[in-house]
Amino acid sequence: MTTINVAGTSVNYSATGAGPGLVFVHGTSVDAQGNFGHVVDRFADQRRVICPNYGGAGNSTIPDGSLVLDTLVEQIAGTIRHAATAPVDLVGDSLGAVVAAATAARYPALVRKLVLVAGWADSGDARHKMVFDTWARLEASDAELASRYGMALAVKPAFLTALGEATIAALSRQPAPSETGRRIDLGSRIDIRDALRTITAPTLIIRGSHDYLIPPYQTALLRTLINNSQDVEVDSGHAVFLEQGDEVVAIIREFLFDRAM
């Protein structure tokens, strides 16, 4: 694990493989290893795969006070500059998709192709605000309940049922990464609609048909706002990399490696 200083914060990242850079940006309540550790090797045959921890996860730090998206953008941009020869392919999941999109908008020279999984453009939706406010309150008062709530929204019902009560209980007791509450709060204050219109990188948008945390209609707005974009829906909840790892790896590999846009 390599640690760098970016905009007054510390950011750590792992890297494996050789070739052009491929950067994965994790979601709200998981670190890079938890989000992507099971798929990294499946890209390392053609890319130097870089997985940063941002915004309080994985011993990376953030300033005191309300967390702002700009801080996370600078952490990812700083990682790209340190770990790879730009431009890189950039893949973001959930809040990581928001960060990745904002990074591509601000620093177009750093991004060759962009993949946004289960992301969104605007947190103004009333349901979104209710979901994130409830999640934040639970995280502040009872982390295990917050985890249970998050799981109920993040995977499709059949997948959760198949895990069984014992596995659900064990997963619920696992501590969330540091500063999860502040990342949840940030997720309730997103509005990158104007930035999305400026993205120039060819973009693939992936959404889960059973996503109850960020419903497909929210993710679909990304396709409307980003020029030179395409989208695909998979039979999954929000946790696409967990539920449909094989399918999402194949979709991303085809977009990044095998097909020009």
Residue 48 pairs with which residues in a beta bridge? 21
Burial label for 153, CB within 10 Å (0-12, 13-18, 19+), is middle
pLDDT of 177: 83
For 2-123+191-258, CATH number? 3.40.50.1820
Tokens of 207: 């959404």
The 3-state secondary structure of 129-141 reads: HHHHHHHHHHHHH
pLDDT of 115: 98
pLDDT band at 58 (very low <50, low <70, confident <90, very high): confident
Q: What does the pLDDT average to over 5-14?
A: 93
Rounded CA separation 197/89 (Å): 19
Residue 144 · residue 170 · CB < 8 Å: no
pLDDT in tens, 91-121: 999 999 999 999 999 999 999 999 999 999 9
Q: Looking at the chain, which runs of residues are DSSP E strands?
A: 2-6, 9-16, 21-25, 48-53, 88-93, 111-117, 203-208, 229-234
Sequence letter at residue 174: Q
Count of other CB atoms within 10 angstroms of residue 228: 11
pLDDT in tens, 134-185: 999 999 999 999 999 999 999 999 999 999 999 999 999 988 888 999 999 9
Whether 196 shows a pLDDT value over 80: the answer reads yes
The CA-based angle 237-31-69, given to 5 degrees, is: 85
pLDDT of 259: 54
Q: What does the pLDDT average to over 57-78?
A: 92
Domain range list for the chain: 2-123+191-258
Average pLDDT of the chain is 94
Residue 105 · residue 127 · CB < 8 Å: no
Q: What does the pLDDT average to over 182-208?
A: 97
